[in-house]
Amino acid sequence: MTKRGFGTNFHKVYGSSPETYHTFSSAERFSLRLGKRIQELSSSGVLLDIACGTGHKTNLLSKSFEKVFALDYSAPLLTLARQKYGRNKKLNFLGSTATHIPLLDESVDTALVTWGSFPLSQTLREIKRVLKVGGSALRIGACVEDEFTALFPSFDIKRINRINKTFISQGFVIEHHEVIIHFKNLKEAKEILNKIVGVSKESITKTVFKHKVALCYYKRT
Ligand SMILES: C[S@@+](CC[C@H](N)C(=O)[O-])C[C@H]1O[C@@H](n2cnc3c(N)ncnc32)[C@H](O)[C@@H]1O
């Protein structure tokens, strides 16, 4: 049987401690190469960030777009996102599931997913529905066991491969990149990884984790 979040506590923390999730999300840094590729592959105009969480990446990426929709189905995460980034007038928050995106057909230039996990085929259908012709979809997710995913209690590479193959079968191209998870200090690394991943504090002895990711991208023709 597949374990939700590979046995981690991510989904529990979204409701019980959104600030904890925000600290984790803020520690994630795209490599320069990945950041550059996201810029190159995006179509400027309207960005839809699906499963935006607390909006850390949405806010950073908003500079390159005219209007941004930040969608998530977690009310606590979206409340925190509004508190953190509500002053950014480009951002429009949508409390909704990814499987029913409350936007018109062909209204989005770039759809982005960073580490969202949801019913894939319905979500991909929705992404293709809302994308304009010429628009781009980008998704970042795990692709191998690495020093971060090795911390997960039930990391399942076969499941990851199935997910990435689904993107390929839907016309996405995959590139491999790196994200650095960089905590401020050892205390923060221990606390956050203990709460979110469920590992013991004693087992965490460093502040930087290299996370190998797949960047899947698609251009609507
Ligand atoms: C690992 S977090 C990623 C958050 C954000 N993209 C980031 O990079 O920090 C996964 C997010 O997916 C959201 N999520 C999961 N299933 C969803 C669904 N069916 N519809 C919308 N959001 C969903 C969760 O609420 C959570 O915010």
pLDDT given at position 1: 60
- 34: tokens are 């990945």
Ligand 1: residue of 57, 61, 118, 123 to mutate (most ligand atoms within 8 A of CB) is 118
* Continuous segment of H or E residues that includes residue 167: helix 157-169
Ligand 1: residue of 50, 58, 72, 93 to mutate (most ligand atoms within 8 A of CB) is 72
Domain ranges of the chain: 4-219
Nearest to 179 by CA among 213, 150, 208: 213
pLDDT given at position 2: 67
What is the position in ligand 1's atom list of the atom closest to the CA of 10?
Answer: 1
Ligand 1 centroid to Cα of residue 201, in Å, is 25
- 166: tokens are 């689904």
| Coil, strand or helix at 35 | helix
Cβ pair 24, 196 in contact under 8 A: yes
What is the position in ligand 1's atom list of the atom closest to the CA of 53?
Answer: 27
pLDDT given at position 155: 94
What is the position in ligand 1's atom list of the atom closest to the CA of 14?
Answer: 25
Q: At what angle do helices 157-169 and 120-130 cross, to 10 degrees?
A: 30
* Intervals of the chain under pLDDT 70: 1-2
* H helices present in 17-144, as ranges: 18-27, 32-41, 56-61, 75-85, 120-130
Strands in 208-219's sheet, in edge-to-edge order, are: 28-30, 173-182, 208-219, 131-142, 108-114, 46-50, 67-72, 91-95
* Continuous segment of H or E residues that includes residue 137: strand 131-142
Per CATH, the homologous superfamily of domain 4-219 is: Vaccinia Virus protein VP39 (3.40.50.150)
Ligand 1: residue of 12, 28, 115 to mutate (most ligand atoms within 8 A of CB) is 115
Under DSSP, the state recorded for 1 is -
Cβ pair 70, 94 in contact under 8 A: yes
Residue 173 φ/ψ, nearest 5 degrees = -105, 140
Among protein residues, the one whose CA lies closest to atom 9 of ligand 1: 25
Model confidence pTM above 0.85: yes
Name every residue whose Cβ is closer than 8 Å to that of residue 25 and which is 6 or more positions away in sequence: 53, 54, 56, 57
- Average pLDDT score, the chain: 97
Cβ pair 109, 136 in contact under 8 A: yes
Cβ pair 43, 111 in contact under 8 A: no
Residue 31 φ/ψ, nearest 5 degrees = -65, 160
